[in-house]
Structure 1
Amino acid sequence: MNAIEQDRIQVNGIELSVYIAGPEQGRPIWLLHGFPECWHSWREQIPALAAAGFRVFVPQMRGYGQSSSPHEIADYDVLTLCADIQQAMDHFGHAQVVMVGHDWGAVVAWHLALLEPERITHLITLSVPFAGRARRPVIEILRELYADRFNYIVYFQQPGVAEQELDADIERTLRLFMQDEDLFLQKRSADSSLFDGAQPPGPLPAWCSREDLDVYVQTFAEHGFRGPLNWYRNFERNWQRSEFLAGRQVLQPTLFLIGDRDPVGVFEAHTLKRMPESVPNLEQQVLANCGHWIQNEQAQRVNALMLGFLGKT
């Protein structure tokens, strides 16, 4: 980890913080983090990939940490998030790359694969599957399905509400996300807040040290959760702006990883079944006894699967 360098670049009207490791002439690979994480969530993958000869690029995504955190909700739609990475690849002169994403980073990675079919040669996504453009905005569907019960994505929609809860105690918020994934599956009334009924956080999970947690806390210390939550507030705009991608398949060789205890697997069960229709060159792996924070919870297994997949070509 001592060989990691930080670069701050101007792209797409913002400053993007990018952490870089590995041999300068190595094959470029980009690692895109999700919510509520940061570049440090790839701490176990960076040295493994660098040791395998890859040049590793790990951005702090828009709205997080030392990268810019614009105020407007529309500044966080998926095509804008993709443009951040596209222009960053331009900045570093990347003609061909491997793209990796977890959680919301996977959403960006899926769309980048559609937008950049020549530049992105291989795709690895974790936790969030893909089945093409929905027939209508996902938020409309969620509001109908959860009209009388709690759903965290619906809860995140009203600006200022979730921020007040999550920003009140950043360390507690992060520890609850890390330790209590059942929060997302509990049946509650529609007017609940995210942490209603949550127990005080217990000991940190084995995969997150006190020093690791400090990096996460510092990520949200300056700007809070407003920027990251704005990613969730663009489902309708994403649907409108992505019409030109309707019907396109992800044709790159793709590895998809998910934990068998990941709540996303419950929410996205139908999408998981349909994914091969939209991703014909797909390899899927379900990791046993693993939750949502897959690249940390089972780092060695994830590293082995990633390197094995990339070693085939």
Structure 2
Amino acid sequence: MPLSLEQWIAGGERTRIVGHEIFHRQDGPEDGRPVTLLHGFPTSSHDWAPILPALTASGCRVTTVDLLGFGASAKPAGHDYRITEQATIVEELWSHLGIGPTALVAHDYGVSVAQELLHRNASRITMAAFLNGGLYPDLHRPTRTQRLLHSPFGAVFQHLATASMFRKSLREILGRPVDDEQLDDMWRAMIMGRGLRVQHRLLYYIDERRHHAERWRSALEQYPGPVQFIWGPADPVSGGHVLPRLRERLPHAQFTVLDEPPTTGHYPQVENPDAVATALTAFLK
């Protein structure tokens, strides 16, 4: 069993970065190959817990972080959450931890942070792996819940959410069974620190993706290092419909499509951790 949310948080620490307390962890041998994992919306770095043992056993020094507004990091009310600020937080965390060149693995919301980091300094990223995420904003299909949160009524709607509503919403984008205990950990990571009050503001990333579409597309397509896509095609948000463009625009990339029954959906590392760990550890070597 992966670490529970409480165990995950107990094994990390908080550091003040750009004026906010940011939760992060480091696992694996201190002299291991550096790899940084970036999580998605609306959850936290705990999403990576199912594959962490395989990464550390393969010799990786794994850095995980709860981005601002997520998980055990600060969730300031009224804050203007931006992907560009999240990228700065990651850069400052790397500086704080003494991390130089690093592999980068990103999922969902985290893929936009990764694209911004590639835009700023691609030479710092030794290799890049992406799991289901909105790499091309015109192909991103937000869920009904996300559309409501992003609407003018989002500030009110966010406070109506319940654990059962959250589980139902998540299961609509999953392809494989995920037990209630794991989904409840995701829910608790989202709501801790009065997290419900910031959900509509975090969703500004939908607009920011459109605003920076060309910048982030170029950063992805012109990145000269090794690239891997580990993809759940059953995902209605960023699933199989994204793969043809990725194959066309990045013909040199490696693809692991998790289409064996039951087909994987939006959270590959949670739904199908063994397959993700196998593909990712082979790539990172």
TM-score, normalised to structure 2, is 0.82
Aligned counterpart in structure 2 of residue 178 of structure 1, from 163, 166, 170: 170
Q: Match of 1:156?
A: 149
Superimposed CA distance per residue, residues 50-99 of structure 1 (whole angstroms, 9 cap, x where no aligned partner): 1111111111121013211133453x221111111111111111111111
Alignment of 1:168-247 (within 5 A): 168-181=160-173, 206-208=177-179, 210=181, 212-219=182-189, 220-237=191-208, 239-240=210-211, 247=218
Instruction: Give the distance between the partners of 2:249 and 2:84, measured in 1 at CA.
Output: 19
CA RMSD of aligned residues (A): 3.1
* Count of matched residue positions in the alignment of Structure 1 and Structure 2: 272
Structure 1 Cα separation of the partners of residues 196 and 95 of structure 2: 29
**Equivalent position amino acid for 1:257 in 2:** I
Structure 2 residue 56 is the aligned partner of structure 1 residue 50: yes
SS at structure 2 position matched to 1:112: helix
For structure 1, which segment, 235-244 or 64-73, has the greater mean C-alpha deviation from structure 2 after superposition?
A: 235-244
Distance 1:280 1:208, change over 3 A: same
Pick which of 272-281 and 239-248 moved more.
239-248
Distance (Å, rounded) in 2 between the aligned partners of 1:281 and 1:231:
33
- Bigger shift: 150-159 or 77-86? 150-159
Work out the percentage of aligned pairs sharing the same amino acid. Answer: 25
Are residues 259 and 224 of structure 1, via their aligned partners in 2, closer, same or farther at CA, if it must alter by over 3 Å? Answer: same
Say whether the 8 Å CA contact 1:64–1:227 is kept in structure 2.
no
Q: Deviation at 1:304?
A: 0.3
Matched AA of 1:157: H
Distance 1:38 1:245 in 2: 23
Correspondence 1:1-313 to 2 at 5 A: 1=3, 5-72=11-78, 74=80, 76-128=81-133, 130-131=135-136, 152-158=145-151, 161-181=153-173, 206-208=177-179, 210=181, 212-219=182-189, 220-237=191-208, 239-240=210-211, 247-248=218-219, 249-265=222-238, 269=241, 271-276=242-247, 279=250, 281-288=252-259, 289-311=263-285
Gaps of 5+ in 1: 183-204
Flag structure 2 segments of 5+ consecutive residues without an equivalent.
Answer: none
Quote the Cα distance in structure 2 between the aligned partners of 1:180 and 1:8: 33
Q: Give the C-alpha shift of residue 118 in structure 1.
A: 1.4
Closer, same or farther in 2 for the Cα pair 1:43/1:214, shift >3 Å? same
For 1:263, what is the secondary structure of its paired residue? coil
CA distance in 1, matches of 2:272, 2:34: 23
3-state secondary structure, aligned to 1:181: coil
Question: What is the distance in 1 between the residues matched to 2:193 and 2:121?
Answer: 33
Q: List structure 1 segments (4+ residues) > 3 angstroms apart after TM superposition.
A: 1-4, 150-154, 162-167, 205-209, 234-248, 276-281
Distance in 1 separating the partners of 2:35 and 2:66? 15
Q: What is the distance in 2 between the residues matched to 1:276 and 1:251?
A: 16
Maintained 8 Å contact 1:33/1:101: yes
Q: 1:99 to 1:293 in 2, by over 3 A?
A: same
